[in-house]
Amino acid sequence: IKNSELKVMGSSYQTDGWTNTTSAIQNKTGCNLLHNPSHPLAILKELIFKEFPSFAYYDSLSPVVSTYQNFDSLGFSKDHPGRSKTDTYYINENTLLRTHTSAHQLQLLVAGKQSDRSLLAQAKNGKAAPGNERFLVAADVYRRDEIDSSHYPVFHQMEAVCTFSRKEIQQLKQQPAHSNTNTQNNFEAHSIAYSQVAKLTDTTVIGNGNPKQPEHTTDEVAFVAEHMKQSMNQMVFQILSKAMAAKKAGGYQASDVSESEFPVRWIDAYFPFTSPSWEMEVFYQGEWLEICGCGIMKQELLDNAGMPDRLGWAFGFGLERLAMLLFGIPDIRLFWSTDPRFTSQFSPGRINAFKPFSRHPSCTKDVSFWLPSIGNFHENDLMDLVRETAGDLVEDVKLIDSFTHPKTGKTSHCYRINYCSMDRNVTNDEINLIQEQVRDQMVKQLGVTLR
């Protein structure tokens, strides 16, 4: 697709040497799983929105963003690996499918500052947060990745941004830190008693590789970080409690139900647009789960939004992993299923356990090939080729063998493709035909030599 146009979300874009958005991916844009109130991802989204009543929330922002929005506005360096064509779906050099909801941080802050009605009007509860000083964004995001039961090139994220003026921070700090009836910092979103939240918190000190920004005082960072952690604790606590209640009502897995609290820990992390940054982990059903990236927003971003007098925190996380856990959904492809045996199991506002229906037989095919002697082979190119040809019939694709011939120096790979439909029986003939097409395309698109 050189020198032509690509149509995404109703608009045409000029393609160029960066274009790598396949039609399989193009077809996913505008699917709007988050707008179906009975879809598990939308149910989870609504539960999270409810935890933040003073925030504006957005769930209809187009996935097509500029390279500037997705990377530059957030301080990604020019050579950051996330920008690479092997990881990101580009429409052209300057336009791409967002890889994370953080792509909207600057834009939404600016819209608030400048009272840009066209954007602010897209908030579901537009008037709730004048100035867009606190907001949530739920949206589909796109990343080139491997194929297995927990990776899909389209998934969903929830972003939160919460900013404070320096004056507000001073005022809020005056309030009693450990009130029994109110959450710390008078954060009205939280109805739960602080004492209950407090035992979930393990506030780590700020590490050296992950510094406080020079523009901020230690006190300011301590306040904003604590506010962020309380807010996140609250959200996780409420949602996991609901999941536990659902399990109890379902009358199974009695050992899980006794858990009434969910210990949380904060691991130092790195993101170009927050410092300090953390990864939040929650102990749930015997395991530490990495839930969410978060941190104190880089002051440069707020300066660029015309808000040099404000500080903020932000978090962002994937909805699928949490939804799979809460609803007991075993395969990420199921979120895209239109099989009534899947779709009929959920209803708005409710977390319930998914009852698996009979699995259709799977079928594996191996393909061995010599890597091209010129140019590179990148695994994600193979993944996209398989998706483009086999769609959701492919369950996973794995490298099972690799060797380099001692004399010729040529390298051979063998990949195993596992085909299995989520919702129907597929015949062997059908799979054979698809496998032939995959092999054909591998020669044409990747320049490999089949063995």
Q: Which residue is nearest to ligand PHE (CB)?
A: 316
Q: Note if the bond before 276 is cis, omega within 30 degrees.
A: yes
Q: How far is the CB of 161 from ligand PHE (least distance, A)?
A: 8
Question: Is 47 a binder of ligand PHE (CB under 6 A)?
Answer: no
| CB closer to ligand PHE, 316 vs 328 | 316
- String marking each residue 149-188 x if it binds ligand PHE according to CB under 6 A: ----------x-----------------------------
Nearest to residue 42, comparing CAs of 60, 25, 28?
60
Q: Work out which of 58, 271, 284, 415 binds ligand PHE, going by CB under 6 A.
A: 271
| CB closer to ligand PHE, 161 vs 394 | 161
Question: Is 100 a binder of ligand PHE (CB under 6 A)?
Answer: yes
Q: Are 229 and 292 in contact (CB under 8 A)?
A: no
Q: Work out which of 40, 153, 276, 295 binds ligand PHE, going by CB under 6 A.
A: 295
Where does 77-205 show beta strands of DSSP type E? Answer: 90-92, 95-97, 134-142, 154-165
Q: Work out which of 67, 70, 184, 274 binds ligand PHE, going by CB under 6 A.
A: 274
| CB closer to ligand PHE, 243 vs 291 | 291
- String marking each residue 117-156 x if it binds ligand PHE according to CB under 6 A: ----------------------------------------
Residue with tokens 């819209």: 111
Phi, psi for residue 397 in degrees, rounded to 5: -135, 125
Question: Is 419 a binder of ligand PHE (CB under 6 A)?
Answer: no
Q: How far is the CB of 67 from ligand PHE (least distance, A)?
A: 16
Q: Work out which of 293, 307, 384, 431 binds ligand PHE, going by CB under 6 A.
A: 293
Question: Is 314 a binder of ligand PHE (CB under 6 A)?
Answer: yes
Question: Is 369 a binder of ligand PHE (CB under 6 A)?
Answer: no
**# chain residues binding ligand PHE, by CB under 6 A:** 12
Task: Outline where 312-378 has alpha helix (H).
Answer: 319-327, 340-343
| CB closer to ligand PHE, 291 vs 417 | 291
For residue 88, how many C-alpha atoms fall within 13 Å in the half-sphere facing its CB?
25
Query: How many whole angstroms separate alpha carbon 259 and alpha carbon 238?
Result: 13
373: its two tokens:
């002697």
| CB closer to ligand PHE, 36 vs 210 | 210
For residue 164, how many C-alpha atoms fall within 13 Å in the half-sphere facing its CB?
21
| CB closer to ligand PHE, 289 vs 414 | 289
CA angle 7, 142, 377 (to 5 degrees): 95
Q: Work out which of 64, 123, 225, 294 binds ligand PHE, going by CB under 6 A.
A: 294
Sole window of 46-54, 116-124, 132-140, 287-295 interacting with ligand PHE (rule: CB under 6 A) = 287-295
Q: Work out which of 315, 335, 346, 419 binds ligand PHE, going by CB under 6 A.
A: 315
Q: List strands edge to edge, sheet with 287-297.
A: 56-58, 134-142, 154-165, 310-318, 287-297, 274-284, 264-271
Q: Is 37 helix (H, G, I), strand (E, B) or coil?
A: coil
Sole window of 302-310, 313-321, 327-335, 382-390 interacting with ligand PHE (rule: CB under 6 A) = 313-321
Q: Are 239 and 326 in contact (CB under 8 A)?
A: yes
Q: How far is the CB of 355 from ligand PHE (least distance, A)?
A: 32
Q: Are 372 and 447 in contact (CB under 8 A)?
A: yes
| Residue 257: Cβ-neighbour burial (10 angstroms; 0-12, 13-18, 19+) | middle
Residue with tokens 């104190």: 296
Q: How far is the CB of 364 from ligand PHE (least distance, A)?
A: 32
Question: Is 311 a binder of ligand PHE (CB under 6 A)?
Answer: no
Give long-range contacts, CB 8 A cutoff, 24+ apart: 249-258. 250/352, 250/353, 252/353, 256/285
225 - beta bridge partners? none
Question: Is 316 a binder of ligand PHE (CB under 6 A)?
Answer: yes
Sole window of 312-320, 327-335, 395-403, 424-432 interacting with ligand PHE (rule: CB under 6 A) = 312-320
Give contact residues for ligand PHE (rule: CB under 6 A).
100, 102, 159, 271, 274, 277, 293-295, 314-316
